Every structure is written in C-alpha cells, then in structure tokens.
Amino acid sequence: MKILHVLDSVNRGGAETLILDVCRNAAAFGLEVMIAAGDGPLLDEFANCGRPFFHLDRRLPFDPMHAGQLRRIIRSKGIDLVHTHQAVDAIHSLAAAAGLKVPVVLSHHGIVPDAKNRRATKFLLSRVAHNIVVAETVIRTYNELYGIRFGANTSVIYNGVDTSRLSPEGGDLRAEMGIGPDVPLIGMIGNFYPEKRKDQLTVCRSLPKVIEHFPDTRCVFIGGVEPGAGAKFDECRQFCDDNQIGERVHFLGRRSDVPDILSALDIFVFSSFQEGLPIALNEAMLAGVPTIVSDIPSLIEASGTGQYSMVFPVGDEAVLAEKVLSLLKEPALRGELARNAHGFAASNFTIEAHLARLAELYRSLRGS
C-alpha cells in the first residue's frame, strides 16, 4: 500500500520526528511510504531518509501549482492514500486528489490553531476521509475552546517513538558542559514559540529554590527560538541573570543528539500551557528518565492519568521546585518513577504500536 505524507514545512518538531520514525519502520507493516515536503531545518534528513522524496515549493496561501504538483505525484506513483498533517496540506491534497478516489487523511497534532486555521479545520473535518487525533484530550479541548467538533470519521492514535534511535551514540553532554556524573542535571526539550505553548519561564523561576538546596545543579534547555519568540527567550535569560543563576542554566538551541542528552539527565521537566501528545515526553519516558509535567489534560493523559510522571500546577514554579527537590533528594524514588514510566510508554507509545493502528486504519479506508 503506497502512502504519501505531505508536509508544508519540515521544522524540528514532534510531528516531523514521528513521520521520520514512520518512514523507517513502515515497511514492516506492509506500507510503502513516500514524502512530499517543503523547506525547513530537517529537509536533508527527510530527503535522505531512504524513502522517495519530493520537494514542494508553495508560493500562495492556496497555490494551484502546488496542488498540481501533488496531483502529478499521486498519479505517477500510484499513491493509494495521502496523509496530511496541517490544514494547508489537507486543502491542497484534497484539490490534488479530486476525482482520483484517493482518500486524504488529516492528523491533528494538538497545536493551538489561529483563527485562520480554526476556520480551515472546521471546513476540513467532514471533507477528509478520516481525522486522526493524537490524544483524547485534544478532541475535548478543540470542542470546548474552539467549537471544533470531530465526527464519526475520527480516531485517536497515539504518537509513537522508534526506540532503536534512543540508544546513546557516544556523545557526552556532561563532558561538554564540564560537569561530573554526580552533578544534578535537569533538562527540558522544546522550542520557544510565540504562541502560548511551551513554558520554559516557569522552569527558570523554579531553579533558584532548587539551586539553594543543591548548589551544583545545572539545567539545560534544548530547542530553537521560533520567529516571534525572541522576547520569551530573552525573558528566560534575563531572569536567570538577574537571579545569579545564569552560569548554571544552559540554552543549547536545536540539537540532533537527543539520545545522548536524555542519557545525561537526572530529571526531565516538561512545562507547557498546551500540547497534543508530545514526542519529547514519550522519548524521555522510553529512555528511562524520570519526568515532571504540567497538569494540563494532554500531559495527564500522556503520563497515564498522572501515575507515571510527577505533576505540578501549570505555571506554578514553587510546586515545580518542590517536585524537583523531592526527586533529587530520593534517588530510589527517581528510579522507581523511571521504571514504571518506561513500562507504560513501551505499551502505548512505541512506533510499532502507532504503525499497527495506522495500517489498520489505512486498509479500512481503502477497503482492503
């Protein structure tokens, strides 16, 4: 079965990481995956992932040339189903597939939609063959906040992680930072966004109390600064400098060595205002790192109703500091939390579990 994944851009984010994992593992589930994508930091990685790749260049909000390029790919490659990941991808793919009897699927990754994308999403819900939502809480959130109501053509399929790529590759983050194995190391992976999504500032605000009790503690933030998010990044840096902890907090930008980073951490913190089902949290759990998460619905769901992560009220730096300190003071508790979380994630968030559900859905849509 030939599947074309369409991506308007290939930034370094959870959805893109998921699709790369799908590309590497789909053949075992009888799926022949191809990629059509625009520009972005992961362009070379997608182009060299071992699957047929087609470079797209959309120039207009709705670009007939872009839709025509997709239509030529669908016809020339005998595509059976098109899988899209943003509203703009789905609109162009529906135009491209018109009259070809090729289903178009749209995944909803839980990203906060602006007004334009809310309108586009409402338009698309009944027009695509199927909607895939990454978490039950996304369905409720979209309904309650945006009036976006998913219909019967909707399935929840959790994101999955290829655990084989979580093996450390020999890099040594602690050596890079000049710290030893006994220095407490906390980390968060996530880009700085202009929208109210990630909440790195609450982590920064929790650190003075943590460092007061464990003076050697270091914290690393992994992730780029998206256009328009410079003020948020600067606020974090300024807070750390104003509180004399700037030398202990490291903003390392975008990194491709996530397995090595996770293997160096004592605690993974995921502080957010709004999420779908974050790949970064799944990766940390599967890598055996104890996690602390904000108490937003999607992170509660991703952590097994809060059983497999410590949970703090969103934006509450005092409680976050208490959670971090409790784990730093009790290595046995850290180990127990990490082991239990790994077992839960291995049952729910592997790429094998994701692809099994995906292949079943694809075949039902094609009637085979």
* pLDDT average, residue stretch 166-178: 93
* pLDDT average, residue stretch 228-235: 97
Average pLDDT of the chain is 95
Q: How far apart are CA 212 and CA 244, in angstroms?
A: 11
pLDDT 10s digits, 300-323: 999 999 999 999 999 999 999 999
Q: Please tell me the least confidently modeled range out of 8-12, 74-78, 99-103, 185-189.
A: 8-12
> Count of CB atoms within 10 A of residue 253's CB?
11
Q: Which fold has domain 2-162+350-366?
A: Rossmann fold (3.40.50)
pLDDT exceeds 80 at position 271: yes
pLDDT exceeds 80 at position 47: yes
* pLDDT average, residue stretch 317-330: 98
Q: Please indicate whether the domains covering 2-162+350-366 and 167-348 agree at the CATH topology level.
A: yes
**Residue 110: predicted pLDDT:** 79
The answer to whether domain 167-348 has CATH 3.40.50.2000 is yes
> Which DSSP state fits 40?
S
**Residue 89: predicted pLDDT:** 96
How sure is the predictor about 111, in pLDDT bands with cuts at 50, 70 and 90?
Answer: confident
**Residue 368: predicted pLDDT:** 58
* pLDDT average, residue stretch 35-40: 96
Helical spans, DSSP H, in the chain:
14-25, 43-47, 64-76, 87-97, 115-124, 136-146, 173-177, 200-213, 230-242, 258-264, 279-286, 297-302, 317-329, 331-348, 351-366
Domain boundaries, the chain: 2-162+350-366, 167-348
* pLDDT average, residue stretch 249-265: 95
Cα of 71 vs its chain's centroid, Å: 29
**Residue 112: predicted pLDDT:** 65
Rg of the chain's alpha carbons, rounded to an integer? 21
Q: Helix (H, G, I), strand (E, B), or coil: what is residue 55?
A: strand
User: ∠ CA 287-292-296 to the nearest 5 degrees?
Assistant: 115
* pLDDT average, residue stretch 30-54: 95
Cα of 97 vs its chain's centroid, Å: 28
For the whole prediction, is pTM greater than 0.75? yes
